[in-house]
Structure 1
Amino acid sequence: MTASNDWPELRDLYGASAAPDLNTCHFFHVHIDERGTSVTFGFETSQLPEHPKPEWTASAYNTLRFWVEFTGVSGLRVSGILAEAKRAVRITNGGGPDPDRLEVSVASETRSIAFSATASRVTHTRVHLKGPI
């Protein structure tokens, strides 16, 4: 799965339209919490939701940020630390000895992070106005 349709928080925002494919989102944040055995990823997209939160309509915005927390993380492997524009995000169910776990990876030609997790959820969303880069 590289689409974000499996998270109710994003399904509520995007409705019938497809939520953004994670491979098309800017991957801007990784937080590894060894105490809570969790990993949080931050994604940013210009694909705006069909059903925005009411508080978002008061201001102009052209970008949505969302954070996905993976819990019950094990088997964490990290290679390299710099972000690269060309990378692949994969989240799949099961396989291996525990079919109920998620297998998560973000990989580029020279860097990667991979792990298995018991669950994932969108922890929060935020919109903002992003100017030219």
Structure 2
Amino acid sequence: MGDSDWTLIVDSAKDLADAYATPPSLNECELFYVQIDERGTSVTLGFETSALPSSPPPAWAHKNYNAVQFYVKFMRVKELRIAGWDASVREAAVTLSPRDDGALRVSVEGEGAHLVFMGSTPLLTRTHPFLRA
């Protein structure tokens, strides 16, 4: 799977994928948000990119923006492992690896930061443009 093919395995990412000629790779984006919900057994990752869509959604037509944020929520998380969490995580390498059993291995690796888990049903939960100062 190529770096920008993450939109093929994340539910509800079609609109975001359609907005870009080539969606930004997760590794080209800055990871700015991580939420681990032990009650809901989910992990949400928030990404930010300055790569702007070539065909933005009509709702964005009259907005002044130079960056886009989006959130991907992974459900039914198991085998969560964290080894260190450093500020360098913003530039971490994020890898989504589908497995034959239908699960998805998610890895966030940066200098001083390591997060790995198995999940399923990845959902794009929110996407919005904004003006970065």
Say if 2:31 and 2:91, in contact at 8 Å, map to a contact too. no
Larger mean Cα displacement after TM superposition, 49-58 or 25-34: 49-58
Q: Could you say which residue in structure 2 is the equivalent of 1:101? A: 103
Q: Could you say which residue in structure 2 is the equivalent of 1:87? A: 92
Provide the secondary structure at the position in 1 that maps to 2:132: coil
Are 2:115 and 1:113 aligned?
Answer: yes
Q: Could you say which residue in structure 2 is the equivalent of 1:130? A: 132
Q: Could you say which residue in structure 1 is the equivalent of 2:26? A: 22
Q: Evaluate the alpha carbon distance shift between residue 9 and residue 39 of structure 1 in structure 2; reply closer, same or farther with a 3 A threshold.
A: farther
TM-score, scaled relative to structure 1: 0.86
CA distance in 2, matches of 1:62, 1:121: 24
Q: Could you say which residue in structure 1 is the equivalent of 2:65? A: 61
Q: Evaluate the alpha carbon distance shift between residue 30 and residue 117 of structure 1 in structure 2; reply closer, same or farther with a 3 A threshold.
A: same
Ranges of 4+ aligned residues in structure 1 off by more than 3 Å = none
TM-score, scaled relative to structure 2: 0.86
Say if 2:66 and 2:130, in contact at 8 Å, map to a contact too. yes
Say if 1:9 and 1:122, in contact at 8 Å, map to a contact too. no
RMSD over aligned CA atoms reads 1.5
Say if 1:77 and 1:113, in contact at 8 Å, map to a contact too. yes
Q: Cα deviations across residues 15-40 of structure 1 (Å, max 9, x unaligned)?
A: xx110011110100000011111000
Say if 1:94 and 1:100, in contact at 8 Å, map to a contact too. yes
> Structure 1 residue aligned with 2:79, among 75, 82, 85?
75
Identity of aligned residues (%): 40
Tell me by how many angstroms 1:42 deviates.
0.3
Provide the secondary structure at the position in 1 that maps to 2:27: helix
